[in-house]
Chains A and B, each alone.
Chain A
Amino acid sequence: MIRVIPCLDVDRGRVVKGVNFVDIRDAGDPVELAARYDAEGADELVFLDITATHEERDTIIHLVERTAEEVFIPFTIGGGLRTEEDIRAVLAAGADKVSLNSAAVRDPDLVERAAMRFGDQCIVVAIDAKRRDDGSGWEVYLAGGRRETGIEAVAWAAEAARRGAGELLVTSMDRDGTQVGFDTDLLAAIAAAAPVPVIASGGAGTLAHFGEAVTRGHADAVLAASVFHDGVYTVGEVKAAMARDGVPVRR
Chain B
Amino acid sequence: MALLDYDMSNLRSAGKALERLGARVQVCRDPGAARGSDAVLLPGVGRFGAAMERLDERGFTAMLREVAASGTPVLGICLGMQLLFDQSEESPGARGLGLIPGHVERLRTSAKVPHIGWSEVHWREGAALAPASGGPAERTYYFVHSYSCIPDDPADVIGTSEHGVGFTAAVARGGACGVQFHPEKSSAAGLALLDRWLAGVQSGQMVAS
Query: Min CB distance, B138 to chain A, in Å?
Result: 10
Indicate whether A250 sits within 8 Å of B12 (C-beta atoms), given known contacts A72-B185, A221-B117. no
Q: Give the distance in Å from the alpha carbon of A119 to the alpha carbon of B44 in the complex.
A: 12
B-side contacts of A251, CB under 8 Å: 136-137
Residue among A38, A91, A93, A197 making CB contact with B116, cutoff 8 Å:
A197
B64 at the interface (CB under 8 A from A): no
Query: Min CB distance, B70 to chain A, in Å?
Result: 31
The B106-163 residues at the A interface (CB cut-off 8 A) are 112-114, 116-120, 136-137, 140, 142, 144
Cβ-closest chain B residue relative to A167: B116
Q: Give the distance in Å from the alpha carbon of A91 to the alpha carbon of B114 in the complex.
A: 19
Q: Give the distance in Å from the alpha carbon of A200 to the alpha carbon of B45 in the complex.
A: 26
A-side contacts of B144, CB under 8 Å: 74, 121
A-side contacts of B16, CB under 8 Å: 68-70
B46 touches A119 (CB 8 A): yes
Number of interface residues of B (CB under 8 A): 30
Q: Count A-B contacts at CB 8 Å.
A: 75
A9 at the interface (CB under 8 A from B): no
B112 touches A73 (CB 8 A): no
Q: Give the distance in Å from the alpha carbon of A68 to the alpha carbon of B19 in the complex.
A: 12
A74 touches B142 (CB 8 A): yes
A220 touches B112 (CB 8 A): yes
Q: Give the distance in Å from the alpha carbon of A65 to the alpha carbon of B15 in the complex.
A: 13
B52 at the interface (CB under 8 A from A): no
B5 at the interface (CB under 8 A from A): no
B83 at the interface (CB under 8 A from A): no
Q: Give the distance in Å from the alpha carbon of A92 to the alpha carbon of B13 in the complex.
A: 11
A120 at the interface (CB under 8 A from B): yes
Q: Give the distance in Å from the alpha carbon of A73 to the alpha carbon of B117 in the complex.
A: 11
Query: Min CB distance, A1 to chain B, in Å?
Result: 5
A38 touches B187 (CB 8 A): yes
Q: Give the distance in Å from the alpha carbon of A183 to the alpha carbon of B32 in the complex.
A: 56
Q: Give the distance in Å from the alpha carbon of A135 to the alpha carbon of B108 in the complex.
A: 37
B202 at the interface (CB under 8 A from A): no
B96 at the interface (CB under 8 A from A): no
Q: Give the distance in Å from the alpha carbon of A200 to the alpha carbon of B197 in the complex.
A: 36
B-side contacts of A73, CB under 8 Å: 142, 185-187
A-side contacts of B12, CB under 8 Å: 65, 68-69, 93-94
Cβ-closest chain A residue relative to B141: A250
A121 touches B45 (CB 8 A): yes
A-side contacts of B116, CB under 8 Å: 121, 166-167, 197, 220
Indicate whether A3 sits within 8 Å of B117 (C-beta atoms), given known contacts A73-B142, A197-B112. yes
Q: Give the distance in Å from the alpha carbon of A250 to the alpha carbon of B45 in the complex.
A: 24
B76 at the interface (CB under 8 A from A): no
Cβ-closest chain B residue relative to A191: B112
B13 touches A72 (CB 8 A): yes
Residue among B45, B119, B120 making CB contact with A119, cutoff 8 Å:
B45
B190 at the interface (CB under 8 A from A): yes
The A1-29 residues at the B interface (CB cut-off 8 A) are 1-3
Query: Min CB distance, A141 to chain B, in Å?
Result: 26
B17 touches A72 (CB 8 A): yes
Query: Min CB distance, B161 to chain A, in Å?
Result: 11
Known: A72-B184, A72-B185, A121-B116. 5 other contacts (CB 8 A): A3-B117, A43-B142, A72-B186, A119-B47, A166-B116
Q: Which residues of A contact B (CB under 8 A)?
A: 1-3, 38, 43, 65, 68-70, 72-74, 91, 93-94, 96, 119-122, 166-167, 195-197, 220-221, 250-251
Q: Which residues of B contact A (CB under 8 A)?
A: 10, 12-13, 16-17, 20, 45-47, 112-114, 116-120, 136-137, 140, 142, 144, 182, 184-188, 190-191
